[in-house]
Amino acid sequence: MPRAFLIVMDSVGCGGAPDADSFFNDGQPDTGANTLAHIARECAAGRAEEGRTGPLKLPRLDALGLGAAIKLASGDDAPGLGAVPQGRWGAATEVSRGKDTPSGHWELAGVPVPWDWTYFPDTVPAFPDDLVAEVCRLAGTEGILGNCHASGVPIVNELGEEHMRTGWPICYTSADSVFQIAAHEESFGLDRLQELCKAIAPRLHAMKVGRVIARPFIGTPGHFTRTANRHDYAIEPPQPTLLDWAHAAGRATHAVGKIGDIFSMRGVGKLHKGKSDADLMGFMHGLVAEAEEGSLTFANFVEFDSLYGHRRDVSGYARALEWFDGEAAKLIVALRPGDLMLFTADHGNDPTWIGSDHTRERVPVLIAGTGTGEIGICAYTDVGASVAAHLEIPAQGPGRSFL
């Protein structure tokens, strides 16, 4: 039976979203944002030279059709990405009203989000009093710290010492539909933090807040470091997804990285989590070699987004892309006859853009193992339907196979 590997390069968008004018960063619409094209231009201009040099070099993904997908999606040229495609390629458009992780992944897996997410206002305080009171009750504290929009590293550095002194959890949000709680693994306790997040999650999910995220850290004042023990408590998808379809058909399913959290472990047979994208790539090499016949592997590589996109680090993003391209070449060579490997993304996060939020973009769709040719502009949901068609399992939802 054929196998399928669906790999999400978190935030690696290619511009051209038709509704980008209704999504914003620091009050500016996302019109014109293009993660890949703008990184390629910065590299070609010599403005992304930290830890790398010269034009953006992605020979394997470009051979599948990456440069062509950018041009198709947005009309933009990406210097250095001009290969004649040797795989199947296109670009996908999202319909869910969010440029976030759950929206993108669920829709790629066949289920558009049928509601509007709740976002907290960029005010101080950011959270309603009754929610704060419930967090305090569950935590057994007299108050919380933060209660604002913030980035994780700065707010831990700012409030970590007070947190250790008072025992109050640090609660913050972002432009995403999230409620994040940071706490010291030793003085507050990792288990206590995760239990707090798990306990408050149903209340946030009822409000249509997408995720409650536990953000543990360690260290001493002036030397705090976030750990790899982050855990996302995500609202469940409203309908069965690609993972559920495969599980119901009796297929083995493997979730690599954040996929288990994003889908609340629904349809996940085996979870593979690591401390870094390098760890996750190790799992991918193992799964390409050993995953069961007829199995589905669904992977997320988050560091493009978490380490470089939000921090507006063009050089870092380019380095990560070039590393990933080299690893992708090894994965593709190791595929068995009949395997499908599909590379895509969930949204954009243009590191040249204003602000620090995700950017509304189309995403590339690049496929190895199923011949060559353009698939054109498709829907996110067509990705899940196409993977299901390749696996020869029934699909649900609005997607249509492009295979």
45-87 pLDDT, tens per residue? 999 999 999 999 999 999 999 999 999 999 999 999 999 999 9
Please check if 231 is assigned to a binding site: no
Please check if 62 is assigned to a binding site: no
How many other C-beta atoms lie within 10 A of the C-beta of residue 54? 12
- For 167, residues 6+ apart whose C-beta sits below 8 A from its C-beta are 141, 187, 188
> Are β-strands 178-184 and 170-173 bridged in parallel, bridged antiparallel, or unpaired?
antiparallel
What is the distance between the alpha carbons of residues 257 and 252, in angstroms, rounded to a whole number?
A: 17
What is the distance between the alpha carbons of residues 36 and 157, in angstroms, rounded to a whole number?
A: 32
Q: What is the structure's pLDDT at 151?
A: 87
Is a pLDDT exceeding 90 seen at residue 175?
no
Q: What is the mean pLDDT of residues 166-184?
A: 96
Do the Cβ atoms of 82 and 63 come closer than 8 Å?
A: no
Q: What is the mean pLDDT of residues 191-197?
A: 98
Under the banding of pLDDT at 50, 70 and 90, the label for residue 388 is very high
Residue 235 token pair: 């609202």
Q: What is the structure's pLDDT at 136?
A: 98
Please check if 347 is assigned to a binding site: yes
How does pLDDT run across 91-106, given as a tens digit for each residue? Answer: 999 999 999 999 999 9
- For 190, residues 6+ apart whose C-beta sits below 8 A from its C-beta are 216, 229
Residue 313 token pair: 């680090």
Q: What is the structure's pLDDT at 255?
A: 98
Please check if 358 is assigned to a binding site: yes
Is a pLDDT exceeding 90 seen at residue 233?
yes
Q: What is the mean pLDDT of residues 389-393?
A: 98
Do the Cβ atoms of 310 and 356 come closer than 8 Å?
A: yes
> Are β-strands 373-379 and 88-93 bridged in parallel, bridged antiparallel, or unpaired?
parallel
How does pLDDT run across 139-148, given as a tens digit for each residue? Answer: 999 999 999 9
Residue 185 token pair: 């693994």
Residue 196 token pair: 């707090």
What is the distance between the alpha carbons of residues 120 and 116, in angstroms, rounded to a whole number?
A: 13
CA 334 to chain centre: 25
- Whole-model pTM: value is 0.92
